[in-house]
Amino acid sequence: MTVGVLALQGDVSEHHEVLRGLRVASFDVRTPADLAGVDRLIIPGGESTAISLLLQSSGLFQEIIARHIKRTLPIFGTCAGAILLAKRIEGTNTPKSLALLNITIDRNAYGTQLDSFEERISVPVLGRKLLRVSFIRAPKITATGEGVEILAMHKKVPVLVRQGSILASACHPEVQCEIRLHEYFLKI
């Protein structure tokens, strides 16, 4: 199995680090040719507007959608990655998203960088041990539509969701060196 980490902007190396811990080969994805060489894709956190523009100019935007339609690309988006997967983004100046995941998301709803925080959340599909995560200028999932399974909540708000082969979290497990959610993704 080869996992690609979208490496246009954001916390790319933290995901590679987690995958290295799981002994899985991982590669940077910057071009459609890079994408063709991977079985799975992680879209990291970062700045969703910047990542969206680079997705479009690199030609990856349409390629990712095409692979999704062919059902050959499970995708895991963290934070900005979740924003880029969402069908609906609330607010003004919203980035163009891939629109593959039936959720509504509010980009910076948890506040500014200074309002970032760490938390332990319960993720029943990962067992009883709580998952350590960071919320960094995190987006809030404000609604989930048909087909979306909520895998974890924080203060009654969904923070980890799955729709078929798409997994998305509003928070970051990778900056806490948690490997269990990536391990779950690799089994999808």
| Interaction site with ligand GLN (CB under 6 A) | 45-48, 79-80, 83, 107-108, 136-137, 139
DSSP secondary structure, the chain, as one string: -EEEEE-SSSSHHHHHHHHHHTT-EEEEE-SHHHHHT-SEEEE-SS-HHHHHHHHHHHTHHHHHHHHHHTT---EEEETHHHHHHEEEEESSSPPP----EEEEEETTTT-SGGG-EEEEE--GGG-SSPEEEEESS--EEEEE-TTPEEEEEETTEEEEEEETTEEEESSBSGGGT--HHHHHHHH-
Shortest Å, Cβ 45 to ligand GLN: 3
Q: Which is nearer to ligand GLN, 14 or 63 (CB)?
A: 14
Q: Which is nearer to ligand GLN, 79 or 167 (CB)?
A: 79
Residue nearest to ligand GLN (CB): 45
Shortest Å, Cβ 120 to ligand GLN: 18
How many residues does this entry show for the chain? 188
Q: Quick check: is 79 catalytic?
A: yes
Residues 3, 24 contacting (CB under 8 angstroms): yes
Q: Considering 14, 15, 79, 171, which one is annotated as catalytic?
A: 79
Q: Which is nearer to ligand GLN, 98 or 136 (CB)?
A: 136
Q: Considering 14, 63, 174, 178, which one is annotated as catalytic?
A: 174
Which residues, in sequence order, are bridge partners of residue 117?
135
Shortest Å, Cβ 84 to ligand GLN: 9
Q: Quick check: is 174 catalytic?
A: yes
Q: Which is nearer to ligand GLN, 46 or 173 (CB)?
A: 46
Shortest Å, Cβ 171 to ligand GLN: 8
Catalytic sites, residue numbers = 79, 172, 174
